[in-house]
Amino acid sequence: MVVRSFVLDSSVLVASLVPSDRFYSEGQKIVKRVLSGNDAVYASAIVPVEVCGVVARRTHDTQTASQIAVQFEKWIRLGRLKIAYLTSRRMRNAETLSGKYCVRGIDAIIAQVAEETSIPLVTFDHDLAGRISPDIKVVTDANVEEILS
């Protein structure tokens, strides 16, 4: 297994947790990759918050959302997920990206981690991918095998 580095978007983790999501299978494969511990996987500190909220809204299951929060803490503690906390410098960089690419603030914060680390952003959000791909390497469901092989 080749060691890879990548940044995870919330869309990938949500997909892996909601069986009715059209990218569920791809999301499950990526999470399995994360759990292997052989890769350097990054996420913005807002990703766990967003994932818990989206899963709770989609499933109407607050208990599952709480369990997901515990799972994130475990991944972080075990070093499976490296968290990039929002500092004032990262905030300013995300502000710049938000304006440059015309993306939502939360997406700019997540994309900023990929830009900062110069590693691919894995996302199933095609609108985000299309907007940032001129300057930031993006992996979507269409080319996910790049990180799975």
User: Would you say residue 94 lies in a domain?
Assistant: yes
pTM value is 0.92
User: Would you say residue 111 lies in a domain?
Assistant: yes
User: Would you say residue 27 lies in a domain?
Assistant: yes
Cα angle 134-139-144, degrees, rounded to a multiple of 5: 150
User: Would you say residue 149 lies in a domain?
Assistant: no
The per-residue pLDDT for range 3-57, each reduced to its tens digit, is 589 999 999 999 999 999 999 999 999 999 888 878 899 999 999 999 999 999 9
Range of the domain at 77: 5-143
User: Would you say residue 148 lies in a domain?
Assistant: no
Residue 2 clears pLDDT 70, i.e. is over it: no
The per-residue pLDDT for range 61-106, each reduced to its tens digit, is 889 889 999 999 999 999 999 999 999 999 999 999 999 999 999 9
Q: Please report, for residues 10, 30, 66, 112, the alpha-carbon distance to residue 117 in angstroms, rounded to integers and kept in the order given.
A: 17, 19, 30, 9
CATH number for the domain spanning 12: value is: 3.40.50.1010
Q: Report the domain count for the chain.
A: 1
